[in-house]
Amino acid sequence: MTVEGAAGFLFVSRTRIDRLIDREVLIEVLPMRPNDKPNIDPTSVHLLRTRQDMLQRVYQDSQTEDTDPLGL
């Protein structure tokens, strides 16, 4: 997967993808040619997207009016 493809799939900027590669959150697959753009392992991208979705669901589930009613 390309940097642009991963950025579009994760809804983040290409700069953010570069940082995730540097932090080894996303796994870079060696390109066929040394001067080519980096390729990203699609499995690591899908795992990160799954984690983001799960964290978003947990946050949204915790935001209920039952535990903190408005105006009280």
Q: From first to last of its 72 residues, what are the pLDDT tens digits of the chain? A: 889 999 999 999 999 999 999 998 999 887 666 667 788 999 999 999 999 999 999 988 887 766 666 655
d(CA 11, CA 56): 14
Q: What is the pLDDT of residue 70?
A: 64
The domain ranges of the chain are 3-60
Place of tokens 């590669």: 21
The number of helices, as runs of H, and strands, as runs of E, in the chain is 3, 2
Q: What is the pLDDT of residue 32?
A: 62
Q: What is the pLDDT of residue 28?
A: 87
Coil vs helix vs strand at 22: helix
Crossing angle between the packed helical segments 14-22 and 3-10, to the nearest 10 degrees: 100
- Among residues 40, 17, 20, 16, which one has the least CA distance to residue 30? 40
pTM of the model: 0.73
